[in-house]
Every structure is written in C-alpha cells, then in structure tokens.
A and B are shown apart, each in its own frame.
Chain A
C-alpha cells in the first residue's frame, strides 16, 4: 500500500529486525512454528502459538504469570479511520482489526523475524490441481454472541468488498477471484463473484488464473467475515464509526474507541482459543510527542515504544545491560528514489545514462550510517527484507542486481561523470554538468530523512558537479498532485508497504496497466509487462523466483527506473516482562494475541 512518508516518518525509527539477542529471556523468542497448511493440500491441527503454550510455571525460566495481564501500546499516529473491515486500508487499522477479528489465517513471527502464516479461522484447506479452486474447511468457532462463524459470513464480506457503491479502497485487492473485476466495474452483480459457501463450514474460492501468493493475500483483514444480520446493507460504513455494531470472532473485542486518542481491547471469552489468550486488556494510545513516549515508557506505563529517536542511545544501553528488550525488525518497505519515465522538470532524468550515474554515485552504506547510525539496510534491489517466496526469504533465492555495479562505480568519480556527460550529450543538453539543476522532490520533515536527503544531494553535487534543489512539500494533497504531474526530476519516497508476503506485490506496482505506475514515475516497459504476465502461467516456486529476479533486474539495473536506497528496519524497545509478543513485519507490526506478562 502506498503510504505517505508522513505516516512512515512517525514510524520512522520503527525497524524490523531479528529478535535475536534480546536477552536470554526464555519464552520471548518464538520457537520454530509448525508450518501447518503450508504445502498444497495441506491440512493440519490447531496452530501452535509461538512460544510456550504450556503454563508459565512449566517453562524453563520458572516464571510466574503476573497478576495484572494488561498491555499498554502505542496507537501509531491516529490513522484508524473506521472499524469496518471492508473499508480498512492501512496497517494501523489492520493491526487492530486483526486482533478483534479472525480470518482464515493468522500471522506470527518466527525466530528470525520473518512472518509465518498459520491456520486460524480455517482448519484446513485444499487447492485444486489446476490451482484455480481453493476450498477451506472452517474451524468450529463462534462469534462473541454465540452465533457460529459460517462460510456465508465470509461470502458476505467478499461481496461487500466487491460492491462498487461501497467504494472501498482495497476493493481492488482480490481481483484474482473470478468475476471480481467485473463486479467492480458494475458489469456483474457482486453476488456472482467466485466465492461461495458450499455449506456452513466450507468456503470455496475460484480464481481466474493460478496465483501462488493467493493464500498470502488472505492475511489482510479486508475480507474478514462479517455479520450481515447486524450491519445491514448500508453502504456508508457508518457502522464502522463506533464500536457499537462491531462484533468479534477474534482473540479480543473492543471495549472503547476514542477517535484520535485511544483504543481499548479486552479479551473475548468466546474465542475458540481463549485459553491461550492470557491478556485481559490491551490499551493503545496515541502519543504525539517523543518526550511523552519516553516518559511513559520509563515509568512503565508503556510496554513497547518506538519512534522516540532521541532516547534510543540511552535505551540501547539499557537493553545491552539486560534491563529492557531491544528489537530490530524489518518492515517490508523500500526507501527509494523514483524517476519520471517521461517528462519531469528538466526531462534529463529520463535518460538512462544519467540515471545510472545518479544511482551508482550514492554510497548507500555511508548514507545509512550517517542518517540512521547504521540502523537501516542498504538496498541494491527491489524486494525488501521480510518478503518471501512460498516461505523462503526472497534473498535466499534472488540476489540483488545492483550490488556489484554499485561497488564498482561508487568511488569512481571520473566514470560517473563520463556517464553523466554522455547522457547530457544524448539529450542534446546545451551546457555542462555545472549548468544542470535537478529538482529533488520530497515530503519528509523528519530529521534523519533530511540528513539522508542532504547526503544524497551532496553526493551528486560533489561527485557529479551538478546542482540539486530540494523541493519540500508537506501537504499531502499537493504532493499527490505533484507526483501525478511529474513535477520533479527525482522523488524520494518510502510509501509502499507490503500487503502480502510475495514479491508479486512489489513487481506488479510497476506494471503499466495496474494504475499505480503513474504515481511512481509513469513507468511503461513492454518487456517488464511481458515478464510480469508470464508469472501467471508459472507456479513452480523456483521458476517464479527466476522471473522475479528478471523483473527486479530490469527495473533496477537495466532501466534504472528506481534507485533503491535502503530496506526499512524498525527499532522497538520493550519492557522485559512481556512474553510471546511477536513483532510481525509485513501487514501489521504486532501480533500479541498469545502474549502474556510475567511477574516483575
């Protein structure tokens, strides 16, 4: 999902990382999950909780449960706009809706911090041989009012999402489903999409083409089951504006929601796995000021903190001393620069050689060290850390295309300049490099990003001898217009998040027909499009990996449409007495339905 960098700036210092080294606390590291249902035609038993399922008294550390099982978290920014699952469109909403509801799957984090998809609302599933039909057997479980969760609930949800009048932001998401696109176009009634309740406990979804990543798409709360009898047929989603009409089939339910302020969740005793849910209450509060966050965390009134960068040094020291816990987590984002494919302020950045010079001149490691104390990972490709192909982290299968070239050129000023000059000549530019002024567009005001952008500007000005103007626009609406109008030569952004765990999410963004490329420079490459469509016919993970590699190479190292800078890492600090708290990386930052507090 495209994100305004504004959203990310607040979550700026949020990094994804490995739980490794967070003290020798037992139980805080999730054990290797059993991959139930991960293979084709999988079936499996109830998902294992990450961490110990047995009572803490039996755990290695001999820890006891604390008397008060309450968690205090940050409610990031205040972007919870609606509680209507169908209308949800950002990770903050998804995170909460994922705790107050349950879909077919639930995502936990493994010991390396990679997201793991486990069966939840579904007990088992089958995929047909042609990869077009998915059949899910639902677990026996009830809504909080005792009514059973049925396949029809899911069907109702999908139908809502595909009803054009509802105008849901994420209505585009499941267009793999038969008739989904037609329903959205109004050609076909939404009830005719390829989702059907075979019986109360069996849900069948039919796709138009095989999509190996489809199961990963079912981790988004957008399709979570809904109670049509309660919410009625309204199309204005007003039921999502208060907690009155919400009903839970998940580990928690809403106790209170105050706009822009806080969300309070309490345990849902009707949850099918309520025995594993030990937290009684979770409070998420908006805290706008860094110093306030720090005060709260230090006073023990906040259990997990992020974003107060000024205090990180102190906290890091405390973490090293074992007093608190530090977590680094990737979060499935790529900070990068976009070029306009055509046009732009000067039009010079359409030129391949100029793009090459700009991309290869940047010393990514140095940039990241300077701006973030090395916290972020320098990026030489498209797919961020955390993304996997059928369960295998992408970088184990596909290596980054730019690494060698970057190493070769980064200190070779002469070669870089020659590239740039050649580009200028090709464009018929009258004048020298010194006459060039490029417009560098950004929307960020966070200190560390300003440092980063300054660094990039300096790099280009010194190594290439050109002029660079930083054009800062903080207003969302204006920025949006600017991007659509290509009123820049190079634009910084970090506004795409990974909606589902497959590189296809990233690759498809630069498809010329998807509608999104327009916003990221207007890329239009038939070769790229062809490679992308070839994925439809390929279901073997290894072959798919090859195609993903090719796509990445075209985008980053042949057309140089984007300049990857770093893969986002987030940094969290947590109180030492929390267990089983998963820092998931992609769709939602936290998964704590099985978390608990020990005596402290």
Chain B
C-alpha cells in the first residue's frame, strides 16, 4: 500500500515540476525581443498583419498569453507552429520521435553493449596491458566531437560501392553510419561504470563464499559477480534511454535525419514558441517519468532498497 501512496506523491511532484518548467520556458523564450513572424509582416497591409498576429496570439501582451498557453497545456493543446503552417506538437512528435528513438536506441545498443563488454574485460584484466588499452581507447572515443566523427565517417563511406548511404533515413543501411557516429559517447561511461562496479563486487566476501561452494567459474561470474555488478548499470540505463531517445542534433544534422533533436534546435533558433514549449514539456515529462521508473527499477533489481522508510523488522 505504501507503493500506491508513493506513486501518487511522485506523480503530483511531476505535475508541479512540469508546470514550473513550462512557465520557465515560456518566459525565457519571450525574454528575447522579436518573434518568429515579424519578419514576414513587412509588406503586409495592417489588417492582414493583425490577422496574422491574432492567429498566433501575438496580439496580446505577455501575461494573458501566459495564461492562455498554460490553460492550453492543461488540455494538452500546445498550439500551432508559427513557422511551419499546420504543424502541431503532437504530429511532430508522432512523426519525429520514432526516428530519434530508433536512432538513439540503436546507438545505445551498440555503445552500451560495447561499453559493458569492455568494462568486463577491463575489470578482469585489471592493471594489465589490456586494461590500459581499453581505458585509453574509451577516453579517445569520447573526446572526438560527434560532429567531426560524423563527417569523417561520411568521407570514408561516401560512394555507391560501399553500399552505405551517407545521408538520409530510409532502410536499415542508412541507419548504420549515424548509429556508429553516436554510439561511442556511451561506451566510455558504461565501460568505466562496469569496471568499477565489477571490481567493487569481486572484493566482496560473498564471492569467496560462492567460490567455496565449488560451483563453476562461469556461474560465479554470472550469477554472483555480474548479477550484483549490474545493479548500478541498470539504474543508469533509463536515464540514458531518455536522453538518447530525444535525439542528437549533430548526428541528425550531418546525416539529414528527420529527428526530434534537429527539429527542436531549429525551433529554438526560429523562436517558434508553441513548438519549443510543447517539445520542452514533452521531453521534461519523459525525463521525469524515467526518473520515476528508475526508482522502481532500483527496488526491483536490488532487494536491499526500500522505496519508503519501511517498518523496522
């Protein structure tokens, strides 16, 4: 029963947080002078200009607009894009989120898996040559700017004979280069995390207990070492998922991928208020949901953790 109360409390907090984020976004975007449609009104007759402003709500001063925006948010109505005729936040999310999500998840799959494997090797060969090699490699991989790396990949793989398209997003092959371009940011982090977690677990006495039972080395490593070493990894994963699913601006820009990251940055640059607000709230909600899921996951994965202050045994 504690769980239900816990969940409700968290949900309430989420709503409050989102309201604050939405408000902050609204005021920040409006703090910069100018609006996205002003430039189009140069030669408009006054009446038409008035219509245009009314259409996007720019005819009202700041506070009434704020109220209207927040009320709309409650209904789930973020309004229309002032830049792209007819675009709404829901349909942009519907069309672009799957793209970013797929790319992000592919990148994570490659990057995190590689990171974990490297971390395991690094831990088992701790202090030896392989360990140093892996640390150096990971550090190198994470320091190349994604932009540069993407361009380099394009340079190497350009041309029909390689069979890998260097721009676009249609068909599995075109996802390969962008996936590689963005995968290594995760590798380094997860490798180090895995390594330190494994080393930490190996030093624990229960590993010696496991060995003393005469069970196979494989089982010691999997059920005892890794099973416990994975606990911190699992708790980081949801947040990583949330951040990667919302897209990476650079990779999407260089490879011309119709993802959310690119669109979001463009919206900000173009001062497209309703889209910026809608996407910000959406992403914030996603992250908050992920935090919530992480809490639960932690509890599932490590039985020692309690969500609430449980009654004393």
Please say whether the chains A and B touch (CB closer than 8 A).
yes
Q: Which of A19-27, A371-379, A474-482 contacts B (4 or more CB under 8 A)?
A: A474-482
Measured between beta carbons, the chain A residues less than 8 angstroms from B86 are 82, 236-242
Say whether A261 faces chain B, with CB atoms less than 8 Å apart.
yes
Taking a contact as CB atoms under 8 Å apart, the answer to whether A476 and B271 are in contact is yes
Contact of B85 among A171, A240, A286 (CB under 8 A): A240
Give A89 to B34 CA distance when docked, in angstroms.
19
Given A239-B86, A301-B160 in contact, is the A292-B166 Cβ separation under 8 Å? yes
Say whether A169 faces chain B, with CB atoms less than 8 Å apart.
yes
Say whether B266 faces chain A, with CB atoms less than 8 Å apart.
yes
Q: Looking at B40, B42, B168, which has the most chain A CB atoms within 10 Å of its CB?
A: B42
Say whether A463 faces chain B, with CB atoms less than 8 Å apart.
no
Contact of B258 among A166, A261, A477 (CB under 8 A): A261
Say whether B241 faces chain A, with CB atoms less than 8 Å apart.
no
Given A84-B85, A480-B34 in contact, is the A259-B263 Cβ separation under 8 Å? yes
Measured between beta carbons, the chain A residues less than 8 angstroms from B48 are 164, 167-168, 171-172, 184
Interface Cβ pair total, 8 Å cutoff: 148
Say whether A4 faces chain B, with CB atoms less than 8 Å apart.
yes
Measured between beta carbons, the chain B residues less than 8 angstroms from A61 are none
Contact of B256 among A167, A287, A478 (CB under 8 A): A287
Say whether A432 faces chain B, with CB atoms less than 8 Å apart.
no
- Could you mark each residue 91-122 of chain B with 1 if its beta carbon is under 8 Å from any beta carbon of chain A, else 0? 11001100000000000000000000000000
Interface size class of A (residues with CB under 8 A): 35 or more
Taking a contact as CB atoms under 8 Å apart, the answer to whether A480 and B32 are in contact is no
Taking a contact as CB atoms under 8 Å apart, the answer to whether A477 and B262 are in contact is no
Taking a contact as CB atoms under 8 Å apart, the answer to whether A292 and B263 are in contact is no
Give A3 to B178 CA distance when docked, in angstroms.
33
Given A259-B95, A480-B34 in contact, is the A285-B168 Cβ separation under 8 Å? yes
Q: Which of A52-60, A247-255, A513-521 contacts B (4 or more CB under 8 A)?
A: A513-521
Measured between beta carbons, the chain A residues less than 8 angstroms from B158 are 295-296, 298-299, 301
Contact of B154 among A4, A87, A292 (CB under 8 A): A292
Contact of B253 among A81, A184, A288, A298 (CB under 8 A): A288
Taking a contact as CB atoms under 8 Å apart, the answer to whether B34 and A478 are in contact is yes
A181 smallest CB distance to B (angstroms):
7
Say whether A262 faces chain B, with CB atoms less than 8 Å apart.
yes
Taking a contact as CB atoms under 8 Å apart, the answer to whether A515 and B167 are in contact is no
- Could you mark each residue 72-90 of chain A with 1 if its beta carbon is under 8 Å from any beta carbon of chain B, else 0? 0000001001101001010
- Chain A, residue nearest B156 (CB): A295
- Chain A, residue nearest B150 (CB): A289
Say whether B46 faces chain A, with CB atoms less than 8 Å apart.
yes
Say whether A291 faces chain B, with CB atoms less than 8 Å apart.
yes
Interface hits, A270-319 → B, CB 8 Å: 285-289, 291-292, 295-296, 298-301
B175 smallest CB distance to A (angstroms):
14
Give A548 to B222 CA distance when docked, in angstroms.
86
Measured between beta carbons, the chain B residues less than 8 angstroms from A87 are 85
Say whether A186 faces chain B, with CB atoms less than 8 Å apart.
yes
Contact of B84 among A81, A89, A258, A478 (CB under 8 A): A81
Interface hits, A547-565 → B, CB 8 Å: none
Give A476 to B257 CA distance when docked, in angstroms.
25
Say whether A425 faces chain B, with CB atoms less than 8 Å apart.
no
- Chain A, residue nearest B55 (CB): A167
Contact of A184 among B47, B262, B271 (CB under 8 A): B47
Given A238-B86, A240-B85 in contact, is the A476-B34 Cβ separation under 8 Å? yes
What is the size, in residues, of chain B's interface with A at 8 Å between Cβ atoms? 50
Measured between beta carbons, the chain B residues less than 8 angstroms from A262 are 168, 256, 258
Taking a contact as CB atoms under 8 Å apart, the answer to whether A164 and B51 are in contact is yes
Taking a contact as CB atoms under 8 Å apart, the answer to whether A81 and B55 are in contact is no
Taking a contact as CB atoms under 8 Å apart, the answer to whether A477 and B80 are in contact is no
Measured between beta carbons, the chain B residues less than 8 angstroms from A285 are 167-168, 256
Say whether A165 faces chain B, with CB atoms less than 8 Å apart.
yes
Give A288 to B166 CA distance when docked, in angstroms.
12
Give A299 to B48 CA distance when docked, in angstroms.
48
Say whether A185 faces chain B, with CB atoms less than 8 Å apart.
yes
Contact of B47 among A78, A186, A287 (CB under 8 A): A186
Measured between beta carbons, the chain A residues less than 8 angstroms from B47 are 164, 184-186
Say whether A260 faces chain B, with CB atoms less than 8 Å apart.
yes
Say whether A2 faces chain B, with CB atoms less than 8 Å apart.
yes
Give A238 to B79 CA distance when docked, in angstroms.
13
Give A378 to B158 CA distance when docked, in angstroms.
38
Taking a contact as CB atoms under 8 Å apart, the answer to whether B32 and A169 are in contact is no
Measured between beta carbons, the chain B residues less than 8 angstroms from A240 are 85-86
Given A240-B86, A296-B167 in contact, is the A286-B256 Cβ separation under 8 Å? yes
Contact of A241 among B35, B49, B87, B159 (CB under 8 A): B87
Give A286 to B167 CA distance when docked, in angstroms.
9
Measured between beta carbons, the chain B residues less than 8 angstroms from A291 are 151, 154-155
Measured between beta carbons, the chain A residues less than 8 angstroms from B19 are none
B260 smallest CB distance to A (angstroms):
11
Say whether B213 faces chain A, with CB atoms less than 8 Å apart.
no
Measured between beta carbons, the chain B residues less than 8 angstroms from A172 are 43-45, 48
Measured between beta carbons, the chain A residues less than 8 angstroms from B49 are 167
Contact of B159 among A81, A186, A258, A299 (CB under 8 A): A299
Q: Looking at B48, B95, B160, which has the most chain A CB atoms within 10 Å of its CB?
A: B48
Interface hits, A486-529 → B, CB 8 Å: 514-516, 519
A158 smallest CB distance to B (angstroms):
15
Say whether B139 faces chain A, with CB atoms less than 8 Å apart.
no
Say whether B14 faces chain A, with CB atoms less than 8 Å apart.
no
Give A291 to B151 CA distance when docked, in angstroms.
7
Contact of A258 among B35, B44, B52, B258 (CB under 8 A): B258
A575 smallest CB distance to B (angstroms):
14
Say whether B24 faces chain A, with CB atoms less than 8 Å apart.
no
Give A255 to B69 CA distance when docked, in angstroms.
36
Taking a contact as CB atoms under 8 Å apart, the answer to whether A238 and B85 are in contact is yes
Give A87 to B84 CA distance when docked, in angstroms.
10
Say whether B72 faces chain A, with CB atoms less than 8 Å apart.
no
Q: Looking at B38, B47, B160, B266, which has the most chain A CB atoms within 10 Å of its CB?
A: B47
Given A168-B48, A171-B45, A237-B85, 12 other A-B contacts at CB below 8 A? A164-B48, A167-B48, A167-B55, A169-B40, A169-B41, A260-B263, A285-B256, A287-B256, A289-B253, A477-B34, A480-B38, A515-B42
In the complex, 16 of the A-B residue pairs with CB atoms within 8 angstroms, ordered by the A residue number, are: A4-B39, A81-B84, A84-B85, A172-B44, A172-B45, A241-B86, A261-B169, A261-B256, A262-B258, A289-B151, A296-B158, A477-B34, A478-B34, A515-B42, A515-B43, A516-B43
Chain A interfacial positions (CB closer than 8 Å to B)? 2, 4, 78, 81-82, 84, 87, 89, 164-169, 171-172, 181, 184-186, 236-242, 258-262, 285-289, 291-292, 295-296, 298-301, 475-481, 514-516, 519
* Those 4 A-B pairs whose CB atoms lie nearest each other, nearest first: A477-B34, A241-B86, A238-B86, A295-B158
